[in-house]
Amino acid sequence: MNTTERAKLLLKKNKIEEAIETLEVFIKENKKERIGAHRLLSQLYMMTSSKEKATATLKEGVKDNPDNLWLQLMLGDLFYFDLKDINSAIEIYQNLLSHFKRPERSTMSPYRYVLKRLSNIYYEIGEFEKAKKHFEMFITLEPSDFYASDFRKFTEILIKLGFKERAKEVIKIGVKTHPGDLSLFNFAKENFQREQFEFREKRKRGVLEGVEKIPIKTNLIREFDDIYNTIDSYTKTIRKDDDIITISSCVAAMAEGRMYTVDTIIPSFLAKFVSR
């Protein structure tokens, strides 16, 4: 059991101050580390409302581990998602992006993730030229996480900027790769009325007679969120006796702190060899 695992165990026992002290001592002695200590300590500081310490911890991690680009992504995420400081987040994300000399398709690289963040941020703040540039870089990777919402935003940007033909190309790809998304299909038909788009209703799996499935959309669930309180708050007005409530196993694992970030995984020689 490494230090971060011990700290998480202490956290489960509600010994957050002891967990913080454990990580502080470790980082003081191991400024260069690959077990996620800086990230976890920063999170624990946020949980105790120590925003300055949370920021300083990740900045220190970035400085002492310049080759770990994931820490830079985490620092940007801290400013974007937690501190709501978009300008600082953009500066950090752009600095991270400058490290890449060429596109990287691997999910083991933060390249695609920083592109996704910048694309959506620039869309949100109305800087459409910059949003277009980053969406183009992102879609070139043919990523699995280019969602229907991303296709809609990118198409909308292209239309606003006068790139109607490129917009048509993009939305056609979007409808093809998300054939069951009615919202995207209707958006495509509304903006390109002369074009033919195919809509294929999503196949319903595991349908049982007399059983109603009710999908529920939640806000973003973060690591260490109380999953039980989250479920309760979103279902208490509609659930009935004997209802069965399910949640994605990966979301549950994340909320319970049972996850490892890419930068903490060191593949063995054998793993690298057989994965070629």
pLDDT tens per residue, range 20-67: 999 999 999 999 999 999 999 999 999 999 999 999 999 999 999 999
**Cα distance between residue 263 and residue 96, in whole Å:** 15
- 221 φ, ψ to 5°? -90, 130
Residue type, 96: L
Give me the percent of the chain exceeding a pLDDT of 90: 73
Burial of 276 (0-12, 13-18, 19+ CB in 10 A): exposed
**Cα distance between residue 245 and residue 187, in whole Å:** 32
Among 17-26, 196-205, 224-233, where is mean pLDDT lowest?
196-205
Residues 6+ apart with CB under 8 A from 113: 73
Neighbour count for residue 183 (Cβ, 10 Å):
11
- Residue 100 CA neighbour count, 13 Å, CB half: 20
Q: What is residue 276's predicted lDDT score, i.e. its pLDDT?
A: 59
pLDDT tops 90 at residue 8: yes
pTM to 2 decimal places: 0.88
